[in-house]
């Protein structure tokens, strides 16, 4: 079993990797999104800025408890 401090370090790097991967995915669609109506662009970028939190939740739970699920 991994101790708490190691879980936190590993978890931080996993969350940073998730954010970086998500940013690359969203940026790869920037030309298509940029061609859309301005308020729609805002909505898409705001939603994509929130959506990454859902895959990060299990990582954060693992960091706190040591388990992936409740």
- Find all residues with CB under 8 Å of 51, minimum gap 6, and list them: 22
Residue 1 binned pLDDT confidence (cut-offs 50, 70, 90): confident
Domain-located, residue 24:
yes
- What is the count of structural domains for the chain? 1
DSSP 37: -
Among 20, 32, 26, 21, CA closest to 45? 26
Residue-range definition of the domain harbouring residue 60: 4-64
Domain-located, residue 70:
no
pLDDT in tens, 20-68: 999 999 999 999 999 999 999 999 999 999 999 999 999 999 999 988 8
Domain-located, residue 60:
yes
Domain-located, residue 69:
no
Model pTM score = 0.86
């Amino acid at each position: 079993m991994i101790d708490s401090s190691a879980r936190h370090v590993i978890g931080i790097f996993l969350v940073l990797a998730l954010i970086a991967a998500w940013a690359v995915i969203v940026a790869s669609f920037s030309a298509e999104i940029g061609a859309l109506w301005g308020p729609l662009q805002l909505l898409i970028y705001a939603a994509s800025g929130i959506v990454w939190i859902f895959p990060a939740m299990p990582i954060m739970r693992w960091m706190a408890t040591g388990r992936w699920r409740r």
